[in-house]
Structure 1
Amino acid sequence: MDPLSFPPIAATLDAAYALLMGLADFLQPVAGAASAALAIVVLTLLVRTILIPTGIAQARAEQTRARLAPKLRALQRRYKNDRERMSRETMRLYADEKASPFAGCAPVLVQAPIVGVVYALFLHPVIAGHANALLTEQLFGVALGASLVGSMSSGTVTAPVALVFGVVLVLILLVAEVTRRLFRPEVEASEGVPGGEAITRMAGFLQYGTAVVALFVPLAAALYLLVTVAWTLVQRCVLRRRFPVEPATST
């Protein structure tokens, strides 16, 4: 059974399809042949605007983690031979501070299904029983449903495909490097958390993992990823001024 034929999934995809087609038609007088690509950008901005409250929660969580880092390091030293006790004391510390070690994960969790929907919209020729006209849309001569890895494996890589995907990937990597440089102190502050070494490694990987994902997904989804990482960088810079993270001091 095709999962896309499951009524709730089909209805979700059809609604997303109608929204994107409506946006593309509205933007066509301005963007011309790139109207669908611009619609992806507008959709991304709308989603990120809706998620601003979760971004604020994430900034508060970063501030809390930095403030608690010295106490967490002290717990690590005190209970380094009793990991179960250390875990209990860590959770008690977060409870006393009315905080959570998992706070701030909402933006990633919410956007994962959205990227999945965009991916599906530009992958399947039929949506909810009707032809998928989005597959005919292009950006600078490159189909929005084309992926770089897919084009390479089929031997259909052209100069426009290489150029468009190259620009998208370079921009994603540039944003990742700027983010890494600006927020490295925040990652270092997380090392006071149990498992902080693993958190640091994972944070470093995630900065560049988006570029790896963009190699495999359709161009439409890669555009979504580019806009969302750029938005995230700007939003974090703005919120850092509102919720500054003070350098942690050892205790």
Structure 2
Amino acid sequence: MSTFMSAFADLVEQLADLLRPLFHDSAAAAAIILFTALVRLLVHPLSRAAARGQRARAELQPRIAELRKKHGKDRETLQKAVLELHAQEKVSPLSGCLPSLLQMPAFFLLYHLFSSSTIGGDANALLGHRLLAAPLGGRWADALGDGGLIGAPGLVYLGLFAVVAAVATFNYRRTRRTMAAAAPAAGDEQLPGLASVNRFMPFLSFFTLFTVAVVPLAAALYVVTSTTWSAVERAVLYRDMPGAAPAAAVLT
């Protein structure tokens, strides 16, 4: 593990060296953003597959509506019939989770790297890098203790919180519109446990604010970059689906 961490630290340092002429002392932060973009590019084919799966589920809604009429109030039979229909058409109701799950190792790798004081027995030089005035290995609590809410490090976090809040608000509105458009068919809500997930889903993006506040700044940069990418990506991939927000809405 230490060998792998050392290799990853060297990769971040090399990317930072390449970006230093443009970003100077914030080059390592720019390297993390670039690394995040590369991870998202690798996962993008799965995101496109998830979008196709969502369209396929939308196409099943009329057939699911027929099953609801057929089975009436027999909830158990209806759930079984809906699951069988998804299996028959090779459509997974949870296929959209895969891209997010595959990104978790990259996040935890950055979290561990910038939470460790040593790498392979040597001092972790990456902890000396900064995003403007905020250390990449620091947390929001550290920034509050170093100048307060509007101190130089605190302002960096306020900027990140502003980006996260804007993206979360966009995602909340888009998700609510999408779910409202799909509500008349009410097919997915018959899947066991999925109705509760759907009620909770619009608020998930706001939990990113908590994540950014408690993890090292380097990992927070990964989260902010990835969630912003997701908002733009989903706006484009789902632009022709009922209730989906237009891609231009991301920029406003």
Q: Which residue of 1 aligns with 2:37?
A: 45
Q: How far has the Cα of 1:13 moved from its partner?
A: 1.9
Matched, 1:176 2:168: yes
**Structure 2: how far apart are the matches of 1:74 and 1:12?**
54
Q: Which moved more, 1:67-76 or 1:166-175?
A: 67-76
Shifted more, 196-205 versus 40-49: the winner is 196-205
**Which runs of 5 or more residues in structure 2 are unaligned?**
244-252
- Structure 1 residues 30, 76: closer, same or farther in 2, change over 3 A? same
Among 120, 124, 133, the residue aligned to 1:132: 124
Q: Which amino acid aligns with 1:99?
A: V
Shift of 1:183: 3.6
1:209 alignment partner in structure 2: 207
1:21 aligns with 2:13: yes
What residue identity is the alignment partner of 2:82? T
Paired letter, 2:200:
M
5+ unaligned residues in a row in structure 1: which ranges? 1-8
SS in 1 for 2:95: coil
Which deviations, in whole Å up to 9, do the C-alpha atoms of 1:7-65 show, x marking residues without a partner?
A: xx323322221111110111112211000000011101111111110110121122123
Other-structure match for 1:120 = 112
**Which one of the candidate residues 232, 241, 245 is aligned to 2:241?**
245
Q: TM-score, normalised by structure 2?
A: 0.84
Question: For residues 227-242 of structure 1, what are the structure 2 equivalents within 5 Å?
Answer: 227-241=225-239
Partner amino acid, structure 2, of 1:245? M
Once the 2 structures are TM-superposed, how far is the Cα of residue 94 of structure 1 from its aligned partner?
0.5
Instruction: Please name the residue that 1:161 is paired with.
Output: 153
Instruction: Please tell me whether the aligned partners of residues 67 and 246 of structure 1 are also in contact (alpha carbons under 8 angstroms).
Output: no
Q: Distance in 1 between matches of 2:101 and 2:20?
A: 32
Distance 1:13 1:87, change over 3 A: farther
Count how many residue pairs are aligned between Structure 1 and Structure 2: 234
Structure 1, 172-181 or 196-205: larger mean CA deviation: 196-205
1:79 Cα shift? 5.9
In the alignment, is residue 143 of structure 1 matched against residue 135 of structure 2?
A: yes
Larger relative contact order (CA 8 Å, sep ≥ 6): 1
1:33 is aligned to 2:20: no
In the alignment, the residues of structure 1 paired with residue 13 and residue 237 of structure 2 have an alpha-carbon distance, to the nearest angstrom, of: 34
Tell me the amino acid that sits aligned with residue 130 of structure 2: Q
Shifted more, 162-171 versus 74-83: the winner is: 74-83
Q: Following TM superposition, by how much is the alpha carbon of 1:67 offset from its aligned partner in structure 2, in angstroms?
A: 2.4
For 2:161, give the aligned amino acid. Answer: L
2:222 to 221, 224, 239: 224
Structure 1 length as normaliser, TM-score? 0.84
1:192 matched to 2:195: no
Query: Over the residues paired in the alignment, what is the CA RMSD in angstroms?
Result: 2.1
Cα distance in 2 for partners of 1:30, 1:230 equals 22
